[in-house]
Amino acid sequence: MDGMTDQKPQKFAKIYAAGWDTISGMADNAMAVKVFAFIAKHCDHLNALVCPIEVMADELGVSSRTITRATKFLEERKHLVIVKVGTANAYVLDPKDIWKNYDKYKGMVGFSSKVLAHKGSNIGLKRRLTHFLGQPEQPDLLDE
């Protein structure tokens, strides 16, 4: 055996042409690039990462305020959606930029785990996620 046949398939982070455009478009904001890369590296198979700002700040060696500015920059440019989950945030990357999983699961973008987010802390979340993911709106718990 060549040793390759008994290995499990590896997950990957695939960056599309639009993703490279996204990254090069934020070149003037080095911290936004670092935060984007941190989220891409640590997100789950649905492009989502729940992470307190303080954890990201510690990992990147900057202040929490610096992380807040960088994530706001990314959200305003629609490179991610931020969902409040208690005192932490869930960061969801645009699957048109980057995809982290086995390629066969690309059509399953979204939260498949049970995530309860308060509507009052996430005004307009359903609209933002629906627009972001390019899916038709359907009534659910995120209705405004």
- pLDDT tens digit sequence for 41-71: 888 877 889 988 988 999 999 999 999 999 9
Query: Residue 71: exposed, middle, or buried by beta-carbon count in 10 A (0-12, 13-18, 19+)?
Result: buried
Q: Is residue 103 one of the residues assigned to a domain?
A: yes
Mean pLDDT of 10-32: 85
Q: Name the more confident of 108 and 128.
A: 128
- Which residue range forms the structural domain that includes residue 126? 13-133
User: How many domains is the chain built from?
Assistant: 1
Alpha-carbon span 106 to 97, nearest angstrom: 12
Q: Residue 26 is part of a domain; what is its CATH number?
A: 1.10.10.10
Q: Is residue 75 one of the residues assigned to a domain?
A: yes
Q: Is residue 7 one of the residues assigned to a domain?
A: no
Q: Name the more confident of 134 and 35.
A: 35
Q: Is residue 81 one of the residues assigned to a domain?
A: yes
Strand, helix or coil for residue 98? strand
Query: Residue 140: exposed, middle, or buried by beta-carbon count in 10 A (0-12, 13-18, 19+)?
Result: exposed
Question: Tokens at residue 137, please?
Answer: 């709106």
| Portion of the chain with pLDDT greater than 90, in percent | 28
